[in-house]
Structure 1
């Protein structure tokens, strides 16, 4: 599973390199992008109605929820529903997963947090004498990040679901 944030061409590149990968768009990024189109006073209501789309039981119910959203908000904010429809091919894989997995893959925040730690570590050093020195520093930053005790919420339940969905990858 690869969770991407809407970067054009990224899903195609991932599938070219890893053909069996399920590419999933970051739902949080999609919601944030949608909220950029609406007025400040409507943001909570729009976010609540979009939640019905991504919390639907399956892709058919989600499509109906998106239609309902468009009926409610389409006249006022005509760009939101079409932006979801353009990304729909990367949204619908989300509905094939159980709720425990959905809680983990609906956002790229955990990855972004790790990337922030790596960027902070490399920026404070400026330059490195060798590639090996940079690699070691990044490794140590990741180790330190792992030891902070900040783990992804609901990870244990999701890991158990992943073991059921992908038994060949969890064969200890």
Structure 2
């Protein structure tokens, strides 16, 4: 996590373990409000000795704790960028095979096809990533729903 690397750089060599443990307490909370309250307590505790780090925590709070607004079942899957890194790796692998593209439309078609393939794979996998069943209730858009099952 890039945030932790930056935060620990502000903490200095001697304070890294303590700061890491402090910050982990915010991530251990069950709901968004408790996590934000703990995050602020940590920043306030660090403010007297490490003001730059406290300011960094204040700035980063909204971005770092954004995942807490999702249901608890989604949080474990949101904290990782592994799926995105896998997709990027597949795009790189496939574009390297082609080498030189004749025009920008050709790149768009290839990357679009890769993304459609990936979407199809994620749609049929159960449990590994978020399913449409668990995501649909989060949308305010009534058109986002499960397709009708043919009888």
Scaled by the length of structure 1, the TM-score of the pair is 0.57
> Is contact 2:39-2:61 (8 Å) kept?
no
C-alpha contact 2:10 2:53 (8 A) present in aligned 1? yes
Q: CA RMSD in A?
A: 3.8
- From the superposition, tell whether residues 34 and 58 of structure 1 become closer, same or farther in structure 2 (CA, over 3 Å): same
**1:25 maps to what in 2?**
none
Q: Is the 8 A contact 1:53 1:62 kept in 2?
A: yes
Aligned to 1:64: 37
C-alpha distance in structure 2 between counterparts of 1:136 and 1:87, whole Å: 37
The reply to whether residue 102 of structure 1 matches residue 75 of structure 2 is: yes
**Structure 1: gaps spanning 5 or more residues:** 1-27
- Paired positions, count: 144
Aligned positions of 1:110-121 closer than 5 A: 110-121=83-94
- Given the alignment of the two structures, is residue 47 of structure 1 paired with residue 52 of structure 2, yes or no? no
Aligned to 1:171: 146
* Max Rg structure: 2
Q: Separation in 1 of the partners of 2:86 and 2:17?
A: 25
8 Å contact kept, 1:114–1:145 = yes
Q: CA deviation at 1:120?
A: 4.6
After superposition, the Cα gap between the structure-2 partners of 1:36 and 1:116, relative to the gap in structure 1 and judged at 3 Å, is: farther
The corresponding residue for 2:50 is: 77
Paired with 1:153 and 1:47, the residues of 2 have a C-alpha distance of 33
Q: Deviations over 1:25-60 (max 9, x none)?
A: xxx333333223233454344223212223323333
CA displacement, residues 107-149 of structure 1 (integer Å, 9 cap, x when unaligned): 4442233224323543564421233432444356557878999
3-state SS of 1:37 partner? helix
Following superposition, the deviation at residue 88 of structure 1 comes to 3.2
Q: What CA distance in whole angstroms lies between the structure 2 residues aligned with 1:164 and 1:146?
A: 19
